[in-house]
Chain A
Amino acid sequence: MSPTRTAATTRRVVDQLRRDPRTVALLLVVPLALLWLLELVFDAQPATFDRIGPALLALFPFVVMFLVTSVTTLRERTSGTLERLLSMPLGRLDLLVGYLVAFGLVAVVQAALASALMLGLLGLDVDGPAWLLVLVAVVDAILGCALGLFVSAFARTEFQAVQFMPAVVLPQFLLCGLLVPRDELGTVLEAISWALPLSYAVDAMQRITVETGVSARTLVDLAVVCVAIALSVGLGAATLRRRTA
């Protein structure tokens, strides 16, 4: 890997985003609007909002970043620039990490805004530290980017890429413990849920809701999500072929 080439890639992706203010606005505003809608839905049940709010604070940016990243990298593939880059002295990780850092920056802004909205205007009540809430939201949004980078390798068209969202994201949502606690899912589904990174992010969020301070379990959950990010990027690089048919 080369830091200069990675940084140049990040810079280029940020430049592309700057030229597309509408996408940036959607990236930042959509999760906020959804969280606000959530608060309205549970207006009469503030206890429920406090219980599931943090988990959805992790989920919405995750979904949005997944979609944006998978479509953007697919565009790189279909425009011929990917083939050109791979014929140049650019490491496959330079490219993927460059993307991850660029979208990670967006994720930081997005998660910070969403957390501020939840804790401020919407009056979300958590016992744990606010910074930890923001940190988990950021890491989770970056997980969305990393998974998006990975699955875009398997999509040939934008239609396929968009289909990966329900295929990859919704099962994780169903099994993450938000609808039904994970220990009540049955042996098989619970075992599967342990293999899905979103479960750990939601666990961490739920612990922040009820625990004061920072527990070791929460840090372990965060570490698991970080490993999932590294794994997705590593697999993404491994599936990137310099030679194609």
Chain B
Amino acid sequence: MREGAAAVEIDGLRVVRGGRVVLDDLSLRLPAGRVTGLLGPSGCGKSTLLRSVVGVQVVERGTVRVLGLDAGAPALRARVAYATQAASVYDDLGVEENLRYFAAVLGVPRDDVERVLAEVDLADDADRPVAGLSGGQRSRASLAVALLGAPELLVLDEPTVGLDPVLRADLWGLFRRLADEGRTLLVSSHVMDEAMRCQELILMRDGAILAQETPDALLERTNARDVEDAFLALVRDGGAAVR
């Protein structure tokens, strides 16, 4: 048993997109105040699960409770931050202009913009239009929006893809600091080597959860050298080892 309340509780979740069952009878508990990594190959349903937690996904069956409320409840809109996989910022505006707008929508003080610009290392590019940025810079601009204010739950869909390793380490450090402040982070990635930076792991494949535990416990249980190996071991066992 884990101490502390669950930030997210999902029971029997079933999601159908475009006639295809993406998630079926999925249940999980997400511990509060931790960085949880959601790992799995692309197309396994990670983004759909995250969309369900944020409350922007049409759900066929099951319940998704977030911070004690139904996912997507109006009271959650300022408490849950979300960054989609594709950078969702305005291409034709500058980085800072984007952030100022989202800050106004969130009702966050304007000086918060400078803080998040520094956190994603874009302070020097504040005035540049997003259209002129590199892919990594764009996704950092999008991530910065999710950092505005003091969200209790941050849902980040592949925020570190394509970033330079130094920056990636910095961002994982930032995620960890946010968790230490008591925030809950759910971060997806298809890069298995990012798993060791998480405090908790959820491994996913074909819309089902293979395992949920700490990275060390996972490696120990599967006798694997790294998370990629552990993933393979779990798939070979047909998920039999799942708690």
Contacts and interface: CB of A to CB of B under 8 A. Distances in A.
Interface in B50-68: 54-59
Contact of B97 (A9, A12, A84): A12
B231 interface: no
Interface in B31-83: 54-59, 72, 74, 77-78, 80, 82-83
B56 A244 contact: yes
B55 A243 contact: yes
B101 A8 contact: yes
Q: Interface SS of chain B: helix, strand, loop or mixed?
A: loop
B105 A5 contact: yes
Interface size class of A (residues with CB under 8 A): 20 to 34
B232 interface: no
B172 interface: no
Contacts of A11: 101
Interface of A: 4-5, 8-9, 11-12, 15-16, 19-20, 79-81, 83-90, 242-245
11 contacts: A4-B104, A9-B101, A11-B101, A19-B129, A84-B82, A87-B55, A88-B78, A89-B105, A90-B77, A243-B55, A243-B57
Interface of B: 17-18, 54-59, 72, 74, 77-78, 80, 82-84, 86-93, 97, 101-102, 104-107, 129, 145
Given A15-B93, A16-B92, 20 more contacts: A9-B105, A12-B93, A16-B90, A20-B92, A79-B90, A79-B91, A80-B84, A80-B87, A80-B88, A84-B88, A88-B78, A88-B102, A88-B105, A89-B106, A89-B107, A90-B77, A242-B55, A242-B72, A245-B17, A245-B57
Which 10 pairs across A and B sit closest by C-beta, in order of nearness? A80-B88, A8-B104, A89-B77, A12-B101, A84-B88, A245-B58, A89-B78, A90-B105, A243-B58, A81-B88
